[in-house]
Amino acid sequence: RATKRATRSVAAASAAAAPPSAAEHMASAAAALDDPAALEALVEDAVVWASQHGLLVGAGLAEPACAAVHAPLALLPVPYPRATFLRAKAAALAFNAMVDAVARDEAYLQEVLAAAAQEDEFTGRLLRVLRDTAAERAARRDSEGVLAVLRSDYMLHAPTNGLLQVELNTIASSFGCLSTLVSRMHAYLLGRLGASEAERAALPGHNAMDAIADAMGGAAAEYGGQDGVVVMVVQPGERNAYDQQWLQTRLWERHGVRTLRRTLAQIAAEGRLGGDGALQLGGHRVALFYFRAGYTPADYPSETQWDARLLIERSDAFKCPTAALQLAGAKKVQQDLARPGVVERFAASSDDAALLRSFFAGLWGLEDVSEPTTVAVIEDAIQHPDRYVLKPQREGGGNNFYGEEMAARLQEARAAGGGLGAYILMQRILPPAQRSVMVRAGKAVTADTLSELGVYSTYLRRGDRVLLSAEAGTLVRTKAATSDEGGVASGYAVLDSPLLV
Ligand code: ADP
Ligand code: MG
Ligand code: MG
């Protein structure tokens, strides 16, 4: 019965002239959106607030490197079902415990990723880092320092009204700081529009910025010593540096911990590993390596970068993440966890397993294209390309295949008898459309949009002691409904926040 009702409401929504927006829930927003002069004034308020409060990204100019522009943003928050939002937040601790259990089972990682590693060199290299450092790490098992800053991403699935997980990010989970600022900006703009106290209370607010900085500070404190530093592993020419720099600033202000920004190549050149596992860099002992790079093959253009990765893995510093934790976030692992009995094996309890499983979309492996279930799902995806997404073992956006391109790849693999062992097939999630005003470089565009919710969580473990496990704020990214991919840094989406309804 629930499905029928949901189908009807989708049909009703698409029959209506325009999908809902914040305006539907706030008369003041409706007035501002209907009047071009009021809209222009509101956009200006947003851009000024963003510039004044560090809601910024690099301008993308070679020179000067310090040039900045406001981050791509939604002018008003997007209506989001309250109960669903709270349910996603409540799952954070279960994901923390589960993914750490996966990361600690290296035999499982080697086994589940073996087929993908055959066809994807990057996955193979990361597995090799695990193998090559196994003995050294085993000797330090009791003091192993792991920091997880996860972001579990979800989309509402309109046909069932359910919330389905897109992916679980275990490395370089970004936008926690800018998302904190977008929530504040939306509260400010609603105030400017004259929203009532009740209307403003529908903005949940959060502080991912401080939550993540505090987890990093906690890792540095647990590592101990006076002059331990955090090394943020960065990409050369990073445009999203302001989101990262906020963490550095807060880490200093709240914990008195310094951060050095270094590329993998710089770490390879400067890092000195002592016999006791201490890694010295820039005259300091490194307490924590925090990766905002290293998640894509492009970050390893030569052996030098892999040398750095090995050096880090061999050191006694906390790692956010370890190579194992990075691999635990692989799309292939996500797909395997959905098989009967697998998430149940890693979750902390059967209640946790049931909760986690409730977010899983349909997921299929493609390592054996003659296996009957695989044959059937490939055939269905070729017949109905709009119902599936084909995903490689990649991070950072812009890597998936959709529609006819996906169907062509599947046909090719079927004819060749394989070749997609490093890919997964995923049920396409169909979020409800919303009407949003997206602002990029000062220009506003109104469009039908889809939103993706992210929930941050932090987790700190030393040896067998779990020192922290917490939900750590949220992110909403909104993209044009006509765009398959999401991702703010990759240029598809804007930063948004939820208006709970
Ligand atoms: P990445 O690690 O590169 O961010 P994602 O799995 O998040 O990979 O995919 C990138 C984007 O593609 C998502 O932000 C989302 O917009 C879209 N996407 C991914 N999986 C699905 C899906 N199953 N259904 C619909 N859209 C999806
Ligand atoms: Mg990802
Ligand atoms: Mg993603």
Provide the residue count of the chain.
501
Grade residue 18 by pLDDT with cuts at 50, 70 and 90: confident
Taking only the tens place, the pLDDT of each residue in 295-332 is 999 999 999 999 999 999 999 999 999 999 999 999 99
Which DSSP category does 170 fall into? -
Average pLDDT, integer, range 138-149: 97
pLDDT digits (tens, 9 = 90+) for 181-219: 999 999 999 999 999 888 889 999 999 999 999 999 999
pLDDT at 479: 96
Range with the lowest mean pLDDT among 25-34, 170-179, 186-195? 25-34
Minimal-distance CA residue to ligand 1 atom 17: 485
Lowest-pLDDT range of 96-105, 225-234, 297-306 = 225-234
- Does the annotation count 151 as an active-site position? yes
The angle formed by the CA atoms of residues 274, 280 and 283, to the nearest 5 degrees, is 140
Evaluate if residue 65 carries a pLDDT over 90: no
Show binding-site residues for ATP: 167, 331, 391-400, 402, 426-429, 452, 479, 485
Residue 7 in this model has a pLDDT that exceeds 80: no
pLDDT higher than 60, residue 6 = no
Distance 396 CA to ligand 2 centre (A): 6
Compute the distance between CA of residue 159 and CA of residue 269 in angstroms, rounded to an integer: 53
Q: What is the pLDDT of residue 4?
A: 36
**Residues 378-396: pLDDT tens digits?**
999 999 999 999 999 999 9
Instruction: Say if residue 263's pLDDT is above 70.
Output: yes
Q: From the candidates 144, 477, 486, 497, which is the catalytic residue? A: 477
Rounded to whole angstroms, the Cα distance separating 127 from 109 reads 8
Between residues 454 and 29, which one has the greater pLDDT? Answer: 454
4 is an active site residue: no
47-56 average pLDDT score: 98
Centre a 10 Å sphere on the Cβ of residue 192 and count the other Cβ atoms it contains.
Answer: 15
Residue 12: exposure state from Cβ atoms within 10 A (0-12, 13-18, ≥19): exposed
Predicted local distance difference test score (pLDDT) of residue 273:
98
Distance of CA 428 from the midpoint of ligand 1 (Å):
9
Can you say which residues are annotated as belonging to the binding site? 151, 167, 169, 171-174, 238-240, 244, 292-295, 331, 391-400, 402, 426-429, 452, 477, 479, 485, 488-489
Q: What letter would DSSP give residue 165?
A: E
**371 flagged as catalytic:** no
Query: Which-ligand-closest: CA of 485?
Result: 1
391 in catalytic set:
yes
pTM of the model: 0.95
CB contact set of 148 (below 8 Å; sequence gap of 6+): 96, 99, 100, 170, 320, 321, 325, 457, 458, 459, 460
- Residue whose Cα lies nearest atom 23 of ligand 1: it is 428
Residues 6+ apart with CB under 8 A from 332: 112, 113, 116, 123, 365, 393, 422, 424
Identify the weakest region by mean pLDDT among 34-38, 317-321, 403-407, 460-464: 34-38
**What's the average model confidence in pLDDT over 237-252?**
96
Position 458 pLDDT exceeds 80 = yes
Burial state string for 241-272 with b = 16 or more CB within 10 A and e = fewer than 16: bbbbbbbbebbeeebebbbbbbbbbbbbeebe
For residue 12, pLDDT beyond 70: no
Decide if pLDDT at 176 tops 80.
yes
Q: What is the mean pLDDT of the chain?
A: 94
Question: Which phi and psi angles does 473 have, rounded to 5°?
Answer: 105, 175
| Structure tokens that stand for 445 in this block | 């565009």
- Asked if the model's pLDDT at residue 13 lies above 50, the reply is no
**DSSP one-letter string for 440-461:** ETTEEEEEEEEEEEEEEEEEEE
Exposed/middle/buried for residue 308 (C-beta within 10 Å: 0-12, 13-18, 19+): buried
pLDDT at 493 (0 to 100): 94
| Closest to 426 measured CA to CA, from 495, 372, 359 | 359
> Which tokens in the block code for residue 40?
């222009």
Ligand 1, CB cutoff 6 Å, lining residues: 153, 166-167, 361, 389, 391, 394-397, 399-400, 426-429, 452, 485-487
Mean pLDDT in residue range 136-160? 97
What is the pLDDT confidence band of residue 8, given thresholds at 50, 70 and 90?
very low
Q: What confidence score (pLDDT) does residue 32 get?
A: 87
Q: What residue type is 346 in one-letter code? A: F
Q: Which two tokens stand for residue 391?
A: 């995903």
pLDDT at 331: 98
Least confident of 53-57, 165-169, 222-226, 445-449: 222-226
Residue 11 has pLDDT above 70, yes or no: no
Query: pLDDT class for 102, splitting at 50, 70, 90?
Result: very high
Which of 50-64, 76-90, 262-276 shows the lowest mean pLDDT across its residues? 50-64
Neighbours of ion ligand 2 (CB under 5 A): 167, 169, 395
Considering the chain, what percentage of its residues have pLDDT values greater than 90?
87
Q: Which pLDDT tens digit goes with each residue over 105-135?
A: 999 999 999 999 999 999 999 999 999 999 9
Residue 15: exposure state from Cβ atoms within 10 A (0-12, 13-18, ≥19): exposed
- 90-94, 140-144, 236-240: which has the minimum mean pLDDT? 236-240
- pLDDT above 90: residue 237: no
Q: What digits encode the pLDDT tens for the residues 406-455?
A: 999 999 999 999 999 999 999 999 999 999 999 999 999 999 999 999 99
How confident is the model at residue 17, as a pLDDT? Answer: 59
| pLDDT given at position 326 | 98
Return d(Cα 369, Cα 417) in angstroms, integer.
Answer: 6
